[in-house]
Structure 1
């Protein structure tokens, strides 16, 4: 549920970004040209980062205050943390990272390809759906505890959405709503799985590595997606995304199901 609430707030900001930034740029463009226009538009957007910094400072104050009241600073921690701990991470963690990058490359590069206002609106639907659905789906994941089942469900849902965009003439709004639902399910169920296979004192390292793998995959796939669109077309791009989702789906079934450490049928723990 916590991941769902966090995702809800984050994706509300993403939706606002998709809808507002083009309008902000057009407004600034009426008064400035060239690099000045782009720079001023980015400075206006950077105000949100300043607000984020203020929130982080407030959170740091409360965290320090809680440590003093609860006397956490007096607790001796025997475990030492080192980047080389990654060599000891279980195979299940690396499968989680692989599933993460295989799914997110079909969402983030996909939404980054729209350029006009209407395209930005449809792209923002994914994050708008996530804003409202994530807390509810997070509660459902907590109640069932079957994270892997939800990951598989998210993959299947997103496969349907991309398939609709590629092979049907159904209004894209329907497919984007379905894709937003799949994205919300995946985020609420996948990221908490790391805490179930990695010791608490190594979670920071694990999440950092997972984010690194994800961003490496996104960086490469964005380049590939742009090349595919320019040289072959959007149908081929959808087939490209469908191949990623299919590989992720079979990775979940064939690999995770065979791992016995900390796993039960479609469930962790």
Structure 2
């Protein structure tokens, strides 16, 4: 496969191209018009053009798909998704071990228990703003190692906190959850970067959705395994298992880096000073209204899912008189459904579009679920809560598959890092303050009625934002968000040619 580099000083109309032939390890000059002969339309679309102000010169850097060879891409997919599995497994440990944590660390205080999730989310209200730039500056290898160091240290503090009962153990556990949150959320950004490098194109949305599915399988495995392990052994053994899993994920990350390093060795060095990453928050002013509506929708929907799953085991035990093991299995049904369906919905949405419509439908499912929990009477040993849990699982799968691909549609490529970071930060603000509000409502009303009304109001707010997003997209983006991925690519290709 031959590779093409157009130097920065080449003329748009008459400049020469340095044409590299890897078989002979040489460069030779060809006319710029000869680039039409170097590949088909798909290969032409794989070129990035960068025009410099006050100059007619430009540079072209090809996306070298052969560098990320098909025979290695699926190993990368397996390894990168396993990082998500381990991270989500440990993130949701407090929910699966709520009864045992109550006995040794948190006591009867709902506020103390929910704080284990709040301190996880608080650092990530700010961290995502800097995470993408940090990764770009230090490189994937250093970033991955630093972030894993935070995850391992955080899980270690949380584990050792389980060995120490009382306030000292609780303080250590809180500190560990904070460190783990700082590392784990940014690791998700690293996983997205690997996915973009190896699967850019039509497969990207599917791969991102698959990563979320595997991550939720980690949450499901945690809810199923941890209560059993804690009952048969002890709380510390269950927490130590999570620490061991994070260490295994670190080893997988090192193998993943080797694949990336091998691919980068085949890259041609291109001098492109116009793409230096800068931390410039003034770009936020350029983001359209539709982007901020997407962010508001994101924080509302995630705030009505994750703070609920944090307290769902406790609600099932108190309202339906179920054991912790049974309650954990019911809660895990949300993540099982999401894990099984998210990639499928990602594949479907890529082909049919209607992203906003799917998002509105998912929010209505969430509203239906929380309303059902509210009107269902308390009962002993019943499984009436299974139907609304199924609704939440389907809603989560649809929403995750439809929401995140919207951002590249409304935001220019050069601002995507800032856009994703800002969206994740706003999402974590909701997931950080949401548990505090829920903990306060639980202490105020132990029947969970006020808590469920809160989730209903948040879901309604999300629906209103999404309806406004639909009309905004129709007015300012020619309803492009609703189109299938191939239609969007066709429109962008025409804009590129013009």
> TM-score scaled to structure 1, two decimals?
0.88
Correspondence for 2:468 among 232, 244, 254: 254
Correspondence for 2:332 among 124, 129, 133: 124
Q: CA deviation at 1:62?
A: 1.7
Correspondence for 1:238 among 430, 452, 464: 452
Distance verdict in 2 for CA 1:83–1:20, change over 3 Å: farther
Cα distance between partner residues in 1 of 2:251 and 2:477:
40
**Alignment partner of 1:8: what SS?**
helix
Q: CA deviation at 1:118?
A: 2.1
Correspondence for 1:16 among 221, 224, 230: 221
* 1:163 and 2:376 aligned: no
Distance verdict in 2 for CA 1:219–1:143, change over 3 Å: same
* 1:78 and 2:263 aligned: no
Partner of 1:99: 297
Cα distance between partner residues in 1 of 2:351 and 2:273:
32
Partner of 1:5: 210
Correspondence for 1:55 among 252, 264, 267: 252
Distance verdict in 2 for CA 1:249–1:53, change over 3 Å: same
Cα distance between partner residues in 2 of 1:128 and 1:63:
31
Cα distance between partner residues in 1 of 2:401 and 2:418:
20
Question: What are the within-5 Å matches in structure 2 for residues 218-233 of structure 1?
Answer: 218-232=431-445, 233=447
**Per-residue Cα deviation, 1:104-141 (whole angstroms, up to 9, x for no partner):** 11111101112422222211111010111112111111
Asked if structure 2 preserves the Cα contact closer than 8 Å seen for 1:3 and 1:187, the reply is: no
Cα distance between partner residues in 2 of 1:91 and 1:28:
53
Question: What are the within-5 Å matches in structure 2 for residues 100-249 of structure 1?
Answer: 100-113=298-311, 114-115=313-314, 116-168=324-376, 171-232=384-445, 233-249=447-463
Structure 2: state its 5+ residue gaps. 1-205, 315-323, 378-382, 489-498
Asked if structure 2 preserves the Cα contact closer than 8 Å seen for 1:103 and 1:155, the reply is: yes
Cα distance between partner residues in 2 of 1:193 and 1:205:
15
**Alignment partner of 2:476: what SS?**
coil
116-125 or 182-191: bigger deviation: 116-125
Cα distance between partner residues in 2 of 1:77 and 1:60:
25
Aligned length: 260
Distance verdict in 2 for CA 1:110–1:265, change over 3 Å: same
Please, what is the CA RMSD of the aligned residues? 2.1
Q: CA deviation at 1:77?
A: 5.6
Cα distance between partner residues in 2 of 1:98 and 1:45:
33
Cα distance between partner residues in 2 of 1:256 and 1:80:
35
Of structures 1 and 2, the larger Rg is shown by: 2
Asked if structure 1 preserves the Cα contact closer than 8 Å seen for 2:353 and 2:481, the reply is: no
Which structure carries more strand by proportion?
2
Q: CA deviation at 1:198?
A: 2.1
Q: CA deviation at 1:57?
A: 2.1
Q: CA deviation at 1:255?
A: 4.2
**Alignment partner of 1:78: what SS?**
helix
Q: CA deviation at 1:266?
A: 6.6
Q: Which has the higher contact order (CA 8 A, sep 6+)?
A: 1
Which structure carries more helix by proportion?
1
198-207 or 213-222: bigger deviation: 198-207
Q: CA deviation at 1:25?
A: 2.3
> TM-score scaled to structure 2, two decimals?
0.49
Q: CA deviation at 1:99?
A: 0.7
